[in-house]
Amino acid sequence: MRFPLDLDYEEWRTLCMEEWHEPPFRADQICGWLYERRTLSFEEMTNLSKELRRKASETFGPAVPKIEKVEVSKRDGTQKILWSLRDGESVESVLLEQDGRKTACISTQVGCPLACSFCATGQSGFVRNLSCGEIVGQFLAMEKDQGSLIDNLVFMGMGEALLNMEAFLKAVRNLKHPKMRSLGARRMTVSTAGVVPGILALAESNLGIKLAVSVHAPDDDLRDRLMPVNRRYPLSELFSAIRFYQEKTGDRVSIEYLLIDGLNDTQAQAERLASRLRGLKSFVNLIPWNTTCETFRKPSPQKVEKFRQVLLSKGIEAEVRRERGEDIDAACGQLRQRRRAR
Ligand code: SAH
Q: In the chain, what are the domain boundaries?
A: 4-59, 66-341
Q: Give the Å distance between the CA of 214 and the centre of ligand 1.
A: 7
* Predicted pLDDT of residue 342: 45
pTM higher than 0.85:
yes
Q: In this structure, which residue's CA is closest to atom 23 in ligand 1?
A: 290
Each of the 342 residues of the chain gets a pLDDT tens digit; together they read: 899 999 999 999 999 999 999 999 999 999 999 999 888 889 999 999 999 999 999 999 877 889 999 999 888 889 999 999 999 999 999 999 988 999 999 999 999 999 999 998 988 899 999 999 999 999 999 999 999 999 999 999 999 999 999 999 999 999 999 999 999 999 999 999 999 999 999 999 999 999 999 999 999 999 999 999 999 999 999 999 999 999 999 999 999 999 999 999 999 999 999 999 999 999 999 999 888 778 899 999 999 999 999 999 999 999 998 777 766 666 555 556 555 554
Choose which residue among 124, 156, 158, 289 to substitute to test ligand 1 binding: the one with the highest number of ligand atoms within 8 A of its C-beta: 156
Q: Give the Å distance between the CA of 120 and the centre of ligand 1.
A: 9
Query: Is there a catalytic annotation at residue 92?
Result: yes
Residue 258 beta carbon below 6 angstroms from any ligand 1 atom: yes
Question: How many CA atoms does the CB half-sphere of 16 hold within 13 Å?
Answer: 21
Count Cβ atoms below 10 Å from residue 231 Cβ, excluding itself: 11
* Predicted pLDDT of residue 63: 74
* Predicted pLDDT of residue 123: 87
Q: In this structure, which residue's CA is closest to atom 7 in ligand 1?
A: 193
Residue 238 beta carbon below 6 angstroms from any ligand 1 atom: no
Query: Is there a catalytic annotation at residue 132?
Result: no
* Predicted pLDDT of residue 340: 55
Residue 191 beta carbon below 6 angstroms from any ligand 1 atom: yes
Class of domain 66-341: alpha beta
User: Which member of 22, 31, 71, 92 is catalytic?
Assistant: 92
CATH code: domain 4-59 is 1.10.150.530
